[in-house]
């Protein structure tokens, strides 16, 4: 977490119920707005770790914005020293059941 710009998600990019380590209601499911907080490009998933990701041997997995090089961890938290100023946004959402989710409503 030392490499992250806002590891505790103190900036308001998520509802209060998603202000936790995984930035989610359910730790196994992450809901993000797929728009880079720099200039609005779409980050790519780079879930493989290390060299297999094409991101270098120290890459722990996450998201990469190909437009200007911003990097985000698996919870959408932005790394230090990249153009994106904030973490990826977690929209308001709620689970209607174990298999149904509604986006835009708490």
Catalytic residue status for 93: no
CA-wise closest residue to 70 among 105, 95, 35, 104: 35
Which residues on neighbouring strands pair with residue 79, listed in sequence order? Answer: 4
User: Catalytic pick from 68, 81, 95, 102?
Assistant: 68
Which residues on neighbouring strands pair with residue 100, listed in sequence order? Answer: none
CA-wise closest residue to 56 among 43, 78, 71, 44: 71
Q: What are phi and psi of 18, to 5 degrees?
A: -110, 15
Task: Show which residues are catalytic.
Answer: 68
């Amino acid at each position: 977490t030392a490499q992250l710009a806002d590891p505790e998600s103190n900036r308001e990019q998520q509802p209060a119920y998603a202000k936790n380590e995984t930035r989610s209601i359910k730790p196994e499911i992450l809901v993000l707005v797929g728009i880079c907080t720099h200039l609005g490009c779409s980050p790519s998933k780079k879930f493989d770790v290390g060299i297999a990701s094409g991101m270098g041997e120290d890459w722990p997995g996450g998201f990469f914005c190909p437009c200007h090089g911003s990097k985000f961890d698996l919870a959408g938290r932005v790394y230090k020293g990249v153009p994106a100023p904030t973490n990826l946004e977690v929209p308001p959402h709620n689970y209607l059941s174990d298999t149904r989710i509604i986006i835009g409503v708490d």
